[in-house]
Amino acid sequence: MHPHPVRQPEPRFVAEGEFPLWDEALAVVNRDLAATLPEQRPLCLIAYPGWEEGEDEHVHVAFESGYFHGNALPPEATAAGALPAVAEAAQETVVEFLWQAWPVCTLHGLGMHVSEDAGRPSWWCAGGSRPGDPAHVRTAIGELTTAHRPHRPNRKRRKKR
């Protein structure tokens, strides 16, 4: 007999206010989701019981259906670490569910990665393959709306010349 039968733990949807740090971070990441994939409903948090008695619940960033992918959020995350952790978890869930890169840099068409810029968690893009088109930080996490505003190429170009 198998000494440890496989558990089928029941997940539960986390109520607002249970994990204030995660709530706050997820609200920021959901802004980016709404800006880039407006047809998607906001992501939410679900929790599974810990594997061991007395262990913390495992909290995941999920779609409303309960679908998620990737590791649980790190329970020991600090206020500063919450946003990058939630952004990465959201990215794993969205990418795996939709089978497409997310979020995508509109300049290069590449999936971006969580990074830090001047102390702010940001979306980083590897840049183009041509010289002079280096890796760059696109926006702070939560500010993709700004980056997705309709382009005004003329105005921008004039400014640069």
Binding residues vs Zn ion (CB under 5 A):
105, 107-108, 125
C-beta of 27 vs 104, nearer to Zn ion = 104
Which amino acid, one-letter code, is at 100? Q
Contacts by 107-110, CB closer than 8 A, 24 or more apart: 107/138, 108/133
What minimum distance in Å lies between the beta carbon of 133 and Zn ion?
8
C-beta of 37 vs 147, nearer to Zn ion = 147
C-beta of 65 vs 146, nearer to Zn ion = 146
C-beta of 44 vs 105, nearer to Zn ion = 105
What minimum distance in Å lies between the beta carbon of 66 and Zn ion?
33
What are the start-end ranges of the E strands in the chain? Answer: 12-13, 44-48, 58-62, 104-105, 110-111, 113-117, 120-125, 136-140
Q: How far apart are CA 136 and CA 18, in angstroms?
A: 36
Mapped onto helix, strand or coil, the DSSP state of residue 59 is: strand
What minimum distance in Å lies between the beta carbon of 109 and Zn ion?
8
What minimum distance in Å lies between the beta carbon of 115 and Zn ion?
12
